[in-house]
């Protein structure tokens, strides 16, 4: 039997007169407010003071290929990856961007501009991160073209495969799908936004040509809009930097300084032997485990929904075999039902499976909301009665 806490009206509701039954639970976006409580407990350890005369220049380090990257952020990135052991930073260029969204666009632009023929095909294996479609179609560039699902891609010529691992939206560990190892026009961008120990076991130190990371999904600081790319090839890194210069003339220094400070504190805590109240990754993993266990219990009791199962793997960071607790739940239904419409009927907003290259029977649910919002979602899901759809 599922035992759910009596849901309370979320504290962030702007109109306090709205009854709980009318409150719309928005789990469409991966807004990572779940970590607010941890950082609140950290008090002033992450406080940064910026005077009016600080950080006024466009330039950070003119000896660096990415001249708008603050040196303290570069050092913090290297230190954190070294402590966690999830990615190689040696012999690489670090390119900072306004979130990994800008960096993905910069990488696609860079690889396409260096290709012998254009447009370059861009693919990702379904279900894929829905924003990849918007990123590669919005400006209608003649340099590259979105070709959809990598599973069925067999077009000749240059291509870029976007690989997200753990995958957004279904949390699976991904490798390349197209696999043309002898084709020098085959390029891959690896998105490791969720390859951190609170979400998934760190099984190896990733070592690829282009690796993307985002501050928002590590710590929850989405509002700072900071991401970084670890890039092997100098010409690719140069083209990425050129794209960001034209697009935004660099990246906010205030955000970089704040990110550097928080990553430094994060690195200090992840080396700590203390419990989850101090060690961020222990804290995050315990929270994600708790949420996934609650959701799986609701799904089991309802017998109307489905969730992926994830195999255990040895985590080098924690030193033991662990399960994955992804940032998103790939929720499905056993019925012939338009699930996103059914959830909307119960005032729950999720990302439609069709936007991720899948079907109407699946939705992407953010697991990163505030606790009170998540509890309202569980209560509504537990009480849902699905209506069969005629057309799927």
One digit per residue, the tens of pLDDT, for the chain of length 392 reads 555 555 666 665 555 567 777 899 999 999 999 999 999 999 999 999 999 999 999 999 999 999 999 999 999 999 999 999 999 999 999 999 999 999 999 999 999 999 999 999 999 999 999 999 999 999 999 999 999 999 999 999 999 999 999 999 999 999 999 988 778 899 999 999 999 999 999 999 999 999 999 999 999 999 999 999 999 999 999 999 999 999 999 999 999 999 999 999 999 998 767 777 899 999 999 999 999 999 999 999 998 999 999 999 999 999 999 999 999 999 999 988 999 999 999 999 999 999 999 999 999 999 999 999 999 999 999 999 776 654 54
| Contact by Cβ (8 Å): 120, 351 | no
Sorted by where each starts, the structural domains of the chain and their CATH numbers stand as 20-40+276-385 (3.90.1150.10), 55-270 (3.40.640.10)
Per-residue burial over 279-318, b if 16 or more Cβ lie within 10 Å, else e, is bbbbbbbbbbeebbebbebbbeebebbebeebeebebbbe
pLDDT digits (tens, 9 = 90+) for 273-324: 777 789 999 999 999 999 999 999 999 999 899 999 999 999 999 999 999 9
Residue 30 contacts residue 328 (beta carbons within 8 Å): yes
Question: What tokens were used for 308?
Answer: 């992926």
- Residue 191 to residue 105: CA distance in whole angstroms: 12
pLDDT digits (tens, 9 = 90+) for 31-81: 999 999 999 999 999 999 999 999 999 999 999 999 999 999 999 999 999
Closest CA to 241 of 108, 60, 92, 66: 66
**In this structure, what are the phi and psi dihedrals at residue 197, rounded to the nearest 5 degrees?**
-70, -15
In angstroms, how far apart are the furthest CA atoms of the chain? 64
**Cα–Cα distance measured from residue 352 to residue 127, given in angstroms and rounded to the nearest whole number:** 11
Cis peptide before 127 (omega within 30 of 0): yes
Token couple for 364: 């992407």
């Amino acid at each position: 039997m599922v035992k759910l806490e009596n849901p309370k009206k979320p504290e962030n509701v702007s109109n306090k007169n709205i009854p709980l039954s009318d409150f719309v639970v928005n789990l469409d976006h991966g807004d990572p407010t779940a970590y607010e409580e941890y950082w609140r407990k950290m008090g002033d350890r992450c406080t940064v003071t910026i005077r009016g005369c600080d950080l006024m220049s466009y330039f950070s380090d003119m000896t660096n290929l990415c001249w708008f990257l603050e040196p303290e952020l570069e050092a913090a990135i290297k230190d954190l990856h070294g402590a966690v052991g999830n990615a190689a930073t040696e012999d690489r260029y670090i390119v900072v961007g306004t979130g990994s969204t800008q960096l993905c666009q910069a990488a696609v632009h860079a690889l396409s501009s260096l290709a012998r023929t254009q447009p370059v095909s861009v693919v990702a294996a379904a279900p894929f991160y829905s924003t990849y479609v918007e990123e590669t179609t919005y400006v209608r560039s003649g340099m590259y073209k979105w070709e959809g699902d990598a599973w069925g891609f067999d077009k000749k010529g240059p291509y870029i495969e976007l690989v997200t691992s753990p995958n957004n939206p279904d949390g699976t560990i991904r490798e390349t799908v197209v696999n043309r190892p002898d084709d020098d026009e085959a390029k891959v961008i690896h998105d490791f936004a969720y390859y951190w120990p609170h979400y998934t076991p760190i099984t190896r130190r990733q070592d690829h040509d282009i690796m993307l990371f985002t501050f928002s999904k590590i710590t929850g600081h989405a509002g700072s809009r900071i991401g970084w790319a670890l890039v092997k090839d100098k010409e690719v890194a140069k083209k990425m930097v050129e794209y960001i210069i034209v697009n935004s003339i660099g990246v906010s220094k205030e955000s970089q300084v704040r990110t550097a400070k928080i990553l430094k504190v994060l690195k200090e805590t992840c080396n700590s032997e203390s419990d989850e109240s101090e060690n961020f990754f222990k804290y995050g993993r315990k929270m994600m485990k708790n949420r996934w266990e609650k959701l799986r219990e609701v799904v089991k009791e309802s017998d109307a929904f489905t969730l992926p199962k994830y195999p255990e793997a040895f985590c080098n960071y924690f030193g033991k075999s662990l399960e994955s607790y992804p940032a998103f739940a790939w929720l499905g239904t056993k019925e012939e039902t338009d699930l996103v419409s059914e959830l909307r009927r119960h005032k729950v907003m999720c990302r439609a499976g069709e936007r991720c290259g899948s079907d109407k029977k699946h939705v992407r649910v953010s697991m990163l909301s505030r606790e009170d919002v998540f509890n309202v979602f569980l209560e509504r899901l537990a009480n849902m009665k699905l209506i069969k759809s005629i057309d799927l």
